[in-house]
Structure 1
Amino acid sequence: MKYNLKTPAVILLADGTVFHGKTTQPFDSNRKGEICFNTGMTGYQEIFTDPSYFGQIMVTTNAHIGNYGVNTDESESDSVKISGLVCKNFSFTPSRPNSDQSLEQFLSDAVLPVIFDVDTRALVSHIRKHGAMNAIMSTQIDDLKTLAEELSQHPSMKGLELSSKVSTKEAYTIGDKLSDHRIAVLDLGVKKNILRRLTSRGGYVKVFPYNTSFDEMMDWNPTGIVLSNGPGDPEPLPSAIEVAKQCIKNEIPTFGICLGHQIIALSVEIPTLKMHNGHRGINHPIQNLSTGKSEITSQNHGFTIDKSSTVNNPDVEISHVHLNDQSVAGIRIKNKPCFSVQYHPEAGPGPNDATYLFDDFFSLMSTAKVKA
């Protein structure tokens, strides 16, 4: 396949800032989304297929993207979920022996535009200073006014419900049918590695659509419920918030991850806030306040829960804090079998420091079953 690597392209930000680069393929249409960056040195395939990134243009801070190709088994969903990719150096020829195909072919099959040869250090610095904002990717470099008008019509991430765009349409089961641990997963944009972590511990898992009611999930007679990660603002998800309320009220062992963590917070009257530029990377330091130990974690979120409201909530205990900014990274509901974390204990990509949380969840289910 031949490429015209001299085809110029542009990234226009909502504040009028322009960054120039080149594209790997002609754009069928301009691509819009909230622009964000991830600091991970590896794991680009997992990032690009993570449903939590739906509706976002991804800027990679690592200088080389595509150098080890793509392996089908490493995708975190059934398709690419980002709106577009911006990078410095794009590698067309993978060097890893067990790669299935090049990243270029993988993204081309997904009809996902890539703009490379961009000054990503300047772009990331701009986002860090001015915050995450909407952006548009285009090859129409001579008509910025029209691009700005088109971009102005794109909705803000604040108030945007996106779980319905990535959740399963029908419930499905995986794992050991004879397991003592029947886990209902509310799919708000669940990553495959969360499901792997649950089934590898012997769980029998049923994944439900994002708007499934508590009663529908309980009809399956689960021993525990997981509220998954996902994209967008948590506030426009009233049915998920109601599920969390009922889980707590009925003392069902419950584990919230990322968006699921925010849903649990909202269910106990703790508000969520849009962050300046979010936490996205695979080396974020977290401290477990119970043990005093620190762990390196994988993170991907643009919203957080309000710390002062959490501290002042008599029914909630902060279990983990982010050591970079002291934001709330985990909570427990007092005297209830419910806990959650803002980060990704399943990794994929990232370190395995926090996988013990899945063991904690299984212990919680076992304890609840004994009491029953």
Structure 2
Amino acid sequence: MNSILYLEDGTVFMGSSIGKQGIAVGELVFNTSMTGYQEILTDPSYAGQIINMCYPHIGNYGIDYSVSQSEKIQAKGIIVKNRYNNTSHYLSEDSFENFLLKNEIVGISGVDTRSITKKIRSHGTMKCVICSENESIYQIKNILKSYEYKNLVDKVSIKTIKHIAGNGPRVAVLDFGAKKNIINNLIDRKKCDITVFPYNTSYDKIMSISPEGILIANGPGDPKELENIIPTIKKIIESGVPTFGICLGHQLMCLALGGDTYKMKFGHRGGNHGVYDKDIQKGFITSQNHGYAVRESSLDKNEIVVTHVNLNDNTVEGIRHKTLPIFSVQFHPEGSPGPTESSYLFDKFLKSMTLVK
């Protein structure tokens, strides 16, 4: 069946429908990863977004449900050049097409994804519509105009407190849309006793478990929309409990420390982003997925050290406090998909708990 991709600037692409027949509206972004489409689609940080996959062949190794980063696809839709259903991988349990259908996700294939990526790079992220129904361009325009992507964290955060028993350190995870592999890293390394809290949990409730460490997780959207959470994070920082922020968690920690964030032109999304760690003077290839960044000039240099920088555009990729046991990074040290070279940061977090005792 034919399908239309309509961009906010009026550009129209014609292609073939994949997944569910219907309409999908979201923020158009691109991802440069060659593999990991399943992990990308199930990453809660992609809530509200339609992903343009730069790599042309998607679906060729099928679906292995064990690597999903949440219980379902979180993205609003997907755009691919070539969709493959003849999967070839010994771990494959399902086809890419069935995966989209089971999750009721609208997609489009057979379009020039390179051209779309170049347009996003030139003009910035924009809203778009994928439509496989018999709608006029006028109707599609109206659908696009009425769409707003707000309250995304509320849609992906856990709703009730979840305890994962372990005999290691007690860790509180503040869930803004945490990927599964973040939790797995804490379990695999020290068999941590983990309590996952909804994003809007009060400070007193979090501290009621007497955590030895607190992880402020990743998630979707604009950190400034979560201004009501900043006082809680500020109290966490001031508590002296070792705290580690990842992606959105990093941005929220910087806001709580008096810093500022801004929306990037097209963000960083992919598994090939070079980052330099100033503390250990080493470079790493990292997995990233964010459309906002911390403004370096807004950080108090008397209290905060910028520890990591992006080797492509020199944006802030990590910070630490000079006196408090807190640090954060903009990228994803757990990979999933992508490199895990920076997973040493989980060891750093776990070690900081023993130093504070």
TM-score of the superposed pair, with normalisation by structure 2: 0.97
Indicate whether 1:41 and 2:29 are aligned.
no
User: 3-state SS of the aligned residue for 1:201?
Assistant: helix
Cα distance in 2 for partners of 1:103, 1:313 equals: 48
Q: Of 14, 21, 27, which aligns to 1:27?
A: 21
Partner in structure 2 of residue 234 of structure 1: 223
User: 3-state SS of the aligned residue for 1:255?
Assistant: strand
- Tell me how far 1:213 sits from its aligned partner: 1.1
Give the AA of the match of 1:188. F
Cα distance in 2 for partners of 1:87, 1:226 equals: 34
Partner in structure 1 of residue 155 of structure 2: 165
Indicate whether 1:66 and 2:56 are aligned.
no
- Tell me how far 1:141 sits from its aligned partner: 6.4
Partner in structure 2 of residue 129 of structure 1: 122
Please show how residues 196-345 of structure 1 align to structure 2 within 5 Å.
Answer: 196-202=184-190, 203-310=192-299, 312-345=300-333
Cα distance in 2 for partners of 1:26, 1:359 equals: 42
- Tell me how far 1:303 sits from its aligned partner: 0.5
Cα distance in 2 for partners of 1:343, 1:216 equals: 28
Contact 1:247 1:253 in 2 (8 A): no
% identical aligned pairs = 43
Partner in structure 1 of residue 73 of structure 2: 80
Contact 2:19 2:98 in 1 (8 A): no
How many pairs are equivalent?
Answer: 356
Contact 1:59 1:85 in 2 (8 A): yes
Cα distance in 2 for partners of 1:165, 1:31 equals: 17
Cα distance in 1 for partners of 2:242, 2:344 equals: 16
Question: Which region of structure 1 is more displaced relative to structure 2, 140-149 or 299-308?
Answer: 140-149
Cα distance in 2 for partners of 1:166, 1:8 equals: 31
Shift in alpha-carbon separation, 1:142–1:31, aligned structure 2, 3 A: closer
Question: Which region of structure 1 is more displaced relative to structure 2, 234-243 or 211-220?
Answer: 234-243
**Structure 1 unaligned blocks of 5 or more:** 1-6
Cα distance in 2 for partners of 1:79, 1:255 equals: 26
- Tell me how far 1:27 sits from its aligned partner: 2.1
Partner in structure 2 of residue 365 of structure 1: 353
Contact 1:49 1:75 in 2 (8 A): yes
**Structure 2 unaligned blocks of 5 or more:** none
Indicate whether 1:13 and 2:7 are aligned.
yes
Partner in structure 1 of residue 49 of structure 2: 56
Partner in structure 2 of residue 95 of structure 1: 88
Partner in structure 1 of residue 338 of structure 2: 350
Contact 2:20 2:104 in 1 (8 A): no
Cα distance in 2 for partners of 1:109, 1:56 equals: 19
TM-score of the superposed pair, with normalisation by structure 1: 0.93
Could you list the structure 1 runs, at least 4 aligned residues long, displaced by more than 4 angstroms after superposition: none
Cα distance in 1 for partners of 2:41, 2:101 equals: 13
Cα distance in 2 for partners of 1:277, 1:81 equals: 19
Deviations 1:250-302 (A, max 9, x none): 11100000000000010011111011000000010000011110000000000
